[in-house]
Structure 1
Amino acid sequence: MSTPLTLDAGARPTPAFLDGPTKGLLIDGAWTAARSGVAFDTRDPATGEVLASVSAAGAEDVDLAVAAARRAFEDPSWADITPYRRSRILLQIADVLEAHTEELAVLDSLDMGGPLWMTRWLVEHSVEVFHHYAGWPTKIYGQTAPSAPSVFSYTLRQPLGVVGAITAWNGPVLQLAWKLGPALATGNTVVAKPAAWSPLTALRIGELLLETDLPRGVVNIVTGDGTTGEAITNHPDVDKISFTGSLAVGKRILEVSSKDLKRVTLELGGKSPTIVFDDADLEAAARGAVAGFAQGSGEGCVAGTRIFVQESVRERFRELLVREMAAYALGDPFHPDTRMGPLASPQHFARVSSYLDVARAEGGVLTTAGELGHGLYMPPTLVENVGADARVVREEIFGPVAALMTFTDTEDAVAQGNDTIYGLSASVWTTNLERAHRVASGLRVGTVWVNAYADMTAGSVPFGGFKQSGIGREHGIEVLDAYTETKTVTVHL
């Protein structure tokens, strides 16, 4: 299509939450302005209009939030409640989010440009995440150890303390749920910092948490830019950092956290391969491949931006890819026919656009499903005639741009799939079960989807990356290790 789908201004939703003065910080169960008085604007990427003014937390504000979280961690109203009661509070959170699904979805669409059908799913998925974690408090077991008759040894699983939860801008509700769910289920308290480009749903969730029985100070929310995140990471009374975002910031967090050996979970970038064998259902594979790099405007860590197709079916598969790309209608996030909204900010649009020039300079041939020049909208773009060393193949673009390359056989597919500093996810398309298992085993990534793309669960299986895609796992049984310490107790009888 040539121009994005539009709506009249009066047809776009205007949540009541956007009314009023500067949005404050949630500290110890109360809303307060940043002590410096500094604020920043968050804008609608579809229109460029200011949505709200938001407080910018400084180091003093972070100190207050961490102190509140520490008091709450030690207070009997949180520390001494039964596992069953903790489960009930998590279910309350799920219920209050579900009751405000549409409002939260609208806020996310306004703030980061995702189409409403997608942000609705993100909120619904987040509700399911809290339901999942509500089951954990009554199932966090210690162990007894073999010992001499005069000795009794056992272990306890205990919460870490104060968790700094720092989220990225591309999935605000979901990322916050992924961090709050396990942190609260295991008895920790939280200082959360949403991304400066999309802080609104975190603030609204903060309001909704006050409607539950969650004790004050257990969850604190501070907004701001990277300096706010740095203050949280540097704080000596923060026991763990759970971060989702860029590789560069993840490395900085790891560096800073090493000063006092904070626990860290880092969910970072990706350059995920989509591998299509000649026996695959090519039409299904093309739909999955395009969804892999175009859904959500390509602004996803699991984006499948390196597409490898077996040489014998390259031309047919390419035709199907281009046809599927043309079906991705760009437009206002609230238009019912929109499949892709705008990129999240002018800065990010400029960065993604620069890679198109890079691709051309590297000899790449570009096929796009639309035109540039309409605000922050970018159509799905396929890059061909580039090799493994091209920047568009090596670097995470975080936009709807993918490189199409070929492979010869299974070993070549695995080797090319692994030829990256990242290792977050991969998508494999084949009807050969033996081949599927062999490729899944050989790929050095945290998640492999076979004949699917981004089949995300609400907590039952672990999610995270190999290599420079991160440290640790979110979800699964592994998440308990990420938010608890194991204590050994030995009693001489």
Structure 2
Amino acid sequence: MDTVRSGRPDVVDVAATAEHTHVDGVARAGGGPAFPDHHPGDGTLVATIEQTSPALLEHAVAGAVAAQPAWAATAPHERARILRTAADLVDRDAERLVALVALDNGKTLAEARGDVAVAAAHLRSAAAWAPLLEGATLPADGTSLRMTFREPVGVVAAVVPFNATLMFAAQKAGPALAAGNAMVLKAPELSPLAAPELAALLVEAGLPAGLLQVVQGAGDVGHALVTHPAVAMVSFTGSTAVGQQVMRDAADGCKRVLLELGGKSANIVFADADLDAAVHAAVGGVFRNAGQRCFAGSRLLVADSVADEVVDRIVAIAEGIRVGDPFDPDAQLGCVISPDHEHRILAMTAAAAAQGARVLTGGARPPGVHPGGAFVAPTVLDVPDDLPAVPDIVREEVFGPVLTVQRFRSPEQAVALANDTPFGLVGGCWTRDVELALGTARAVRSGYFWINSYGALALDAPIGGVGASGVGRELGRIGHEAYTELKTVVIDTAPHRQPRWY
């Protein structure tokens, strides 16, 4: 495995300001306790963030409540125009945003460019849906006219994860704003810088103040936001454990919840697959973004007859991946989000080895990386099928560059292995047999499934999970309608003909 290092270019100066809460169209100091934001590539301090104080959080929610009715009354085409303009501004500032994402999150420049491009695409997609959130006219019975309307829910609380903060902020804010809502968004504590930048660009694009508020802090800020009585809906992306707490917090106010949670997704390779395509997609499916993706293909299930060839090829590729400084253009895999997360990943890998899994490559920090950075080498674990118990790592989300490999001897066994987890976010399979492919897609318990590809999300198709992977769907028509309330209106055209109840 190659390692690369390069000095970080001084391209983003964010440490000079303490104003990372964005309320009523203005960047502000949070007013609460300060916490550090470190670059995970070398551990250096990037910025000192003030947590949003309870008083400022209350002000942020009140501002969203005050701004939302006028926005709901704004013509959908005008909302769309503002969102398109914001997307153009993201494109204008792309290189600065790319550097900010890499600095804050530790992903490579190439991956950061992807995040920025997808953020702009989310805003444009939301703009396209703004005038298309239609109701319906229902069949009449001769005495009434029945119809439905899509109306905004009001104020939406959003909580986004550290692994793609700018992208997820756009993915949530775009549809919510397109539907006429206001949003108060909590930035992730480990990656706090991108969300307020998006809010500033939306204000520059013409979004009225108060419609996208960004607050900072840890779980107590999220709890205060989710439980606020003025919040009508919670849109959360993150771990299953926190998502379960969000559901409990939202229950008291009977708030609508949209939850995209963890995953432990199976990528199934049948014996007749195009093995070259399957191998390269499997590598990208688990190692991209250092494995810090909810839909990572972290479980490879491969037919026994081709398993040795597939695994040998994956290991060879993994050992050649260039790991290093996110700002080095030659780096293919950057760092994980923090030293604590690095230690957790390595501890899980060591525990799996102790339970009988064989470490084929990785399982440690890669050589030559910055000593202050948080890095994990691309790791492949072979899980024999004769172990007394399946290692915990096969069912638990690692959120790092770790692939487990299990062999199967029949399609039925492959499906059983794929479903042997509480998660159900995504999955995939590789085969030239259409009947086998579609049968597997239907049998695997997941909300999204690829056939002969893995990892590319279509922005016009809904995504979400089942079981421990969440509630509801984002993206596509369903994902945009999730931010609306459906109201039925009945007009009685002949009230004098209605029978009297008495």
Q: Same fold (TM over 0.5)?
A: yes
What is the CA distance between 1:49 and its match in structure 2? Answer: 0.6
- Does 2:144 align with 1:145? no
Q: Map of 1:365-380 to 2, 5 A cutoff? A: 365-369=358-362, 372=365, 374=369, 375=371, 376-380=374-378
CA distance in 1, matches of 2:10, 2:418: 43
- Does 2:274 align with 1:276? no
- Out of 344, 369, 392, the residue aligned to residue 351 of structure 1 is 344
- Does 2:57 align with 1:62? yes
Q: Do the aligned partners of residues 370 and 267 (structure 1) sit closer, same or farther apart at CA in structure 2, a change above 3 Å counting?
A: closer
Q: Map of 1:379-418 to 2, 5 A cutoff? A: 379-386=377-384, 389-418=390-419
- Out of 28, 35, 43, the residue aligned to residue 40 of structure 1 is 35
Map of 2:498 onto structure 1:
none
Whether the 8 Å contact between 1:173 and 1:202 is mirrored in structure 2 is yes
Q: Secondary structure of the residue that 2:302 maps to in structure 1?
A: strand
Query: What is the CA RMSD across the aligned residues, in angstroms?
Result: 1.5
Q: Map of 1:199-278 to 2, 5 A cutoff? A: 199-278=192-271
Percent identity over paired residues: 36
Map of 1:484 onto structure 2:
484
What is the CA distance between 1:480 and its match in structure 2? Answer: 3.4
What is the CA distance between 1:337 and its match in structure 2? Answer: 1.3
Q: Secondary structure of the residue that 1:164 maps to in structure 2?
A: strand
- Out of 81, 87, 94, the residue aligned to residue 101 of structure 1 is 94
The one-letter amino acid paired with 2:468 is: Q
The one-letter amino acid paired with 2:416 is: A
CA distance in 2, matches of 1:412, 1:197: 40
- How many residue pairs get aligned? The number is 485
The one-letter amino acid paired with 2:11 is: T
CA distance in 1, matches of 2:31, 2:323: 41
- Does 2:15 align with 1:14? no
Q: Which moved more, 1:91-100 or 1:23-32?
A: 23-32
- Out of 321, 325, 332, the residue aligned to residue 332 of structure 1 is 325
- Out of 250, 267, 285, the residue aligned to residue 278 of structure 2 is 285
- Out of 297, 301, 318, the residue aligned to residue 304 of structure 1 is 297
CA distance in 2, matches of 1:418, 1:220: 40
What is the CA distance between 1:386 and its match in structure 2? Answer: 4.6
Whether the 8 Å contact between 2:129 and 2:477 is mirrored in structure 1 is no
CA distance in 2, matches of 1:480, 1:124: 20
What is the CA distance between 1:369 and its match in structure 2? Answer: 4.6
What is the CA distance between 1:481 and its match in structure 2? Answer: 3.4
Whether the 8 Å contact between 2:161 and 2:237 is mirrored in structure 1 is yes
CA distance in 2, matches of 1:385, 1:71: 56
Whether the 8 Å contact between 1:462 and 1:473 is mirrored in structure 2 is yes
Q: Which moved more, 1:382-391 or 1:481-490?
A: 382-391
Map of 2:23 onto structure 1:
27
Q: Which moved more, 1:21-30 or 1:169-178?
A: 21-30
Alignment deviations for residues 67-102 of structure 1 (CA, whole Å, 9 cap, x no partner): 11000112x3x1221111111011111111111111
The one-letter amino acid paired with 2:40 is: P
CA distance in 2, matches of 1:223, 1:187: 24
What is the CA distance between 1:145 and its match in structure 2? Answer: 2.3
The one-letter amino acid paired with 1:5 is: V
What is the CA distance between 1:210 and its match in structure 2? Answer: 2.2
- Out of 121, 130, 137, the residue aligned to residue 123 of structure 2 is 130
Q: Do the aligned partners of residues 135 and 385 (structure 1) sit closer, same or farther apart at CA in structure 2, a change above 3 Å counting?
A: closer
TM-score (structure 2 length as normaliser): 0.94
Whether the 8 Å contact between 1:143 and 1:155 is mirrored in structure 2 is yes
Whether the 8 Å contact between 1:23 and 1:53 is mirrored in structure 2 is no
CA distance in 2, matches of 1:116, 1:40: 26
The one-letter amino acid paired with 1:60 is: A
What is the CA distance between 1:41 and its match in structure 2? Answer: 1.3
What is the CA distance between 1:271 and its match in structure 2? Answer: 0.4
Q: Which moved more, 1:50-59 or 1:267-276?
A: 50-59
CA distance in 2, matches of 1:414, 1:353: 29
Alignment deviations for residues 44-65 of structure 1 (CA, whole Å, 9 cap, x no partner): 0111111111120133222111
TM-score (structure 1 length as normaliser): 0.95
Whether the 8 Å contact between 2:7 and 2:327 is mirrored in structure 1 is no
The one-letter amino acid paired with 1:14 is: V
Map of 1:179 onto structure 2:
172
Runs of 5+ consecutive residues of structure 1 not aligned to the other structure:
none
Alignment deviations for residues 278-337 of structure 1 (CA, whole Å, 9 cap, x no partner): 111212211111212111111110111111110111111111111121231101111121
Whether the 8 Å contact between 2:25 and 2:200 is mirrored in structure 1 is no
CA distance in 2, matches of 1:377, 1:287: 22
CA distance in 2, matches of 1:202, 1:311: 46
What is the CA distance between 1:430 and its match in structure 2? Answer: 1.1
- Out of 35, 48, 51, the residue aligned to residue 53 of structure 1 is 48
